[in-house]
Amino acid sequence: MSKVRHIGILTGGGDCPGLNAVIRAITKSATMQYGIEVIGFMDGFRGLVENSYMALDPRLVSGISHTGGTILGTSNRDNPFSFVTITQEGHLQTDESDRAIGNLRNLGLDGLIVIGGDGTLNIASQFYQKGIPVVGVPKTIDNDLSATDVTFGFNTAVNTASDALDRLHTTAESHHRVMILEVMGRYSGWIALHAGISGSADVILIPEIPFSVDAILKKIAERYRQGKKFSIIVIAEGAFPVGGEMVVSNYVPTSHDPIRLGGIGEKVAEDLGKVLRNVEIRVTVLGHLQRGGSPIPYDRILGTRYGVAAVQAFVRGEYGSMVSLQGAEIKSVPIADAIKEIRKVDPNGDLVAAARGVGVSFGDDI
């Protein structure tokens, strides 16, 4: 029998399809297999600092795996090591990590399972370095965490973007327009690449391959010569032109990742419009639609596997680790390996080569 008797869990960072499936799996596996009591901290690390939590049991988490969001709430701004409190004088930042650790110990918790992306897992790693038993679960629609093949939530986001492209195709062809779809992904192009291939895009622009407007125009002209009077362009929010920079839509100083990307779709449309004066160009920014709604079956299953594996890793004493999908198996890897760098698309990899093979332009083929 495991010596673990009581664990806490939290969901940090942005919301993501599949979070509730993970919460359900952790709760049911811990309580039913090992007799471990589970509590969930509310609103990410803020709940840990402010000692806001709820007891979780199999009945409470029953039937939530198909729902979007997280029953625990989440936050991408609350870092216990640099905790922001709003005062009359402005934003006050203090280290509240010892306060959070005190709450863990007062509740008699044996440790913490943290579900999140690179920012959240970076904080989890800091707690591990301070002696708190921690196990991580990789979560992000961006699929940009190292040491795992896939993060849950990614495939649902791709499904949403692919569906949008299917719908844009019909109106683009009917009206002979250039349709631009801007998708999320931060500094990596996984969503744009997968959705672009799935949705038969003509141009895919990703951060890993700086683009040229002239190359995009070349592709559109080529299609016109072939009698195709419309074009579909998918742009990752972090894409940028050769010699240029990413477009920043906002800056949130209280967040661990204060830069908010967005607007590259409109910028490309403006640049193309200077040449394509007789062609209508329309931009759709998919935004948070990619993070909302019900997870597809793949992410429900992957989230369930991750949740069960996280409990098993905790029982085995594999602290400071993150559960990871490697091939067909779930394994444990050091959290440090998962957060040391952003996982990016390989410009020379098979997926990019496959897209080029069917005529997709990445804006670099002058």
Alpha-carbon gap, residue 305 to 299, rounded angstroms: 10
pLDDT at residue 182 greater than cutoff 50? yes
Q: 83 with 108, same domain?
A: yes
Alpha-carbon gap, residue 219 to 199, rounded angstroms: 17
pLDDT at residue 1 greater than cutoff 50? no
Q: Please report whether residue 122 resides in a domain.
A: yes
Active site residues: 142
100-118 per-position pLDDT tens digit: 999 999 999 999 999 999 9
Segment among 148-152, 252-256, 283-287, 343-347 with least mean pLDDT: 252-256
Question: Whole domain around residue 92: which residue ranges?
Answer: 6-152+293-339
Question: Sorting pLDDT into bands at 50, 70 and 90, what band is 256?
Answer: low
Write out 243-297 in H/E/C secondary structure.
CCCCCEEEECCCCCCCEEECCHHHHHHHHHHCCCCCCCEEEEECHHHHCCCCCCH
Q: 50 with 138, same domain?
A: yes
Q: 81 with 213, same domain?
A: no
Task: Return the pLDDT at 93.
Answer: 87
pLDDT at residue 255 greater than cutoff 80? no
Question: Sorting pLDDT into bands at 50, 70 and 90, what band is 249?
Answer: confident
Output the CA–CA distances (angstroms, integers) from residue 131 to 9, 47, 101, 124, 179, in the order listed: 17, 20, 9, 11, 52
Q: Please report whether residue 362 resides in a domain.
A: no
Q: Please report whether residue 366 resides in a domain.
A: no
Q: How many domains does the chain have?
A: 2
Q: 91 with 194, same domain?
A: no
Q: 145 with 179, same domain?
A: no
- Average pLDDT, rounded, for the chain: 94
Question: Sorting pLDDT into bands at 50, 70 and 90, what band is 258?
Answer: confident
Task: Return the pLDDT at 77.
Answer: 82
Within 8 A by CB and 6+ apart from 115, the residues are 9, 10, 11, 12, 19, 22, 23, 136, 137, 139
Task: Return the pLDDT at 2.
Answer: 52
pTM of the predicted model as reported, rounded to 2 decimal places: 0.94
Task: Return the pLDDT at 250.
Answer: 83
315-329 per-position pLDDT tens digit: 999 999 999 999 999
Task: Return the pLDDT at 106.
Answer: 97
Q: Report the CATH number that the domain containing residue 226 is assigned in CATH.
A: 3.40.50.460
Higher pLDDT, 106 or 254: 106
Question: Sorting pLDDT into bands at 50, 70 and 90, what band is 181?
Answer: very high
Q: Report the CATH number that the domain containing residue 10 is assigned in CATH.
A: 3.40.50.450
Task: Return the pLDDT at 366.
Answer: 65
**3-state class of 328 per DSSP?**
coil
Average the pLDDT over 45-65 and give the result: 96
Q: 208 with 134, same domain?
A: no
pLDDT at residue 74 greater than cutoff 70? yes
